Structure 1
Amino acid sequence: METKTPLWFWILSIIFLLWNLIGIGSFVAQVLMTPEALEALPKAERELYDSYPSWTYIVYFIAVFAGFLGSLGLLLKKRWARTLFLVSLLAVLIQMGHSLFVANALEVYGNEALILPVIVTIISIMLLWFANFCAKKPWYN
């Protein structure tokens, strides 16, 4: 007897996929920012962008694309989705830690600089938890 996959799994998995697509969009927008758009930023923000070493963009890439691929794996009910969500979470922690504590985004944006990193980190933790939770269900196989 085959156990039916619950509707809430599909709904949440699609929401998580859309969330990760937003992350990819954000990454692409930042990487492809034109010199004119960068010049239009306030001086402190321009200096902040200029201070990021290239490895932070690699970590950002890993965070968003591992999350996206993990979401695809979740929809396909693959156990490797958990590994990708773990990789994404670790990359998020490195990226956000650098931004907040090394690049000093808090000095540029104030306490508002905490909002998005906290949300992204919480959702990354939720994705990993959800993938682990689902992997234990008979309908996930």
Structure 2
Amino acid sequence: MTEGTSNSSVWLTVGATLLILWALMGCASLYMHFAVGPGDGPGATDFDRQLYASLPTWYGVVYIVAVLSGLAGAILLLMRRSAAVVPSAISVVAVLIQFGWMFLATDTIEMKGVWTTYFPAFILAVQLFQLWLVTMAKGRGLLR
């Protein structure tokens, strides 16, 4: 192993580990979404309850796909598998569908304010970072 490969191994391990922890937080959020529901959480408004009750079934499926494919991509990255590219890309697409629909097809921004888009934008940024990291690692021959 060369010095460059050793350094690459460290930052790739750290990055993949942080992405796995991030994805596990996503799993906790996913669980809460289905177990409690955003409409029943503390501080939920009538709008939140109505919105949650009106979510189409496919929205939940896309949410599951976004979280679990992100987790799978991060785990595969930690395992140094080039197969990490596909689930990482699927996660980005699912996040775009999930939040794109939420903000374009509902009046969430009008009712709750533009600040409600900040955390979803951060989620998208993390998933784009994961896709970039996986793609870059594959391009440098760090994945098999």
TM-score after normalising by structure 2: 0.88
Q: How many residues align?
A: 141
Number of the residue aligned with 2:143: 140
CA-to-partner distance for each residue in 1:93-122, whole Å, 9 max, x for gaps? 000011111122212321111111110111
Q: Distance in 1 between matches of 2:39 and 2:122?
A: 30
* Aligned partners of 2:72 and 2:84 also within 8 Å: yes
Alignment check: 8 A CA contact 2:38 2:44 kept: no
SS at match of 2:121: helix
1:112 and 1:133 mapped to 2: Cα distance? 32
The TM-score normalised by the length of structure 1 is: 0.90
- Which segments of 5 or more consecutive residues in structure 2 lack a partner in the other structure? none
Q: Are the structure 2 counterparts of residues 37 and 76 from structure 1 closer, same or farther at C-alpha, using a change threshold of 3 Å?
A: same
Q: CA RMSD in A?
A: 2.1
Deviates more, 1:100-109 or 1:118-127: 100-109
**Partner residue in 1 for 2:32:** 29
Matches of 1:35 and 1:108, distance apart in 2? 15
Pick the aligned partner of 2:55 from 52, 55, 59: 52
Q: Deviations over 1:67-104 (max 9, x none)?
A: 00000000001111010001000000000011111122
1:95 aligns with 2:78: no
Q: Which amino acid aligns with 1:135?
A: K
User: Unmatched 5+ residue regions in structure 1?
Assistant: none
CA spacing shift, 1:57–1:36, aligned 2, 3 Å: closer
Aligned residues with identical type, % of pairs: 26
Q: Which moved more, 1:28-37 or 1:110-119?
A: 28-37
1:69 maps onto 2:72 in alignment: yes
1:6 Cα offset (Å): 2.6
The DSSP-based 3-state class of the residue aligned with 1:6 is helix
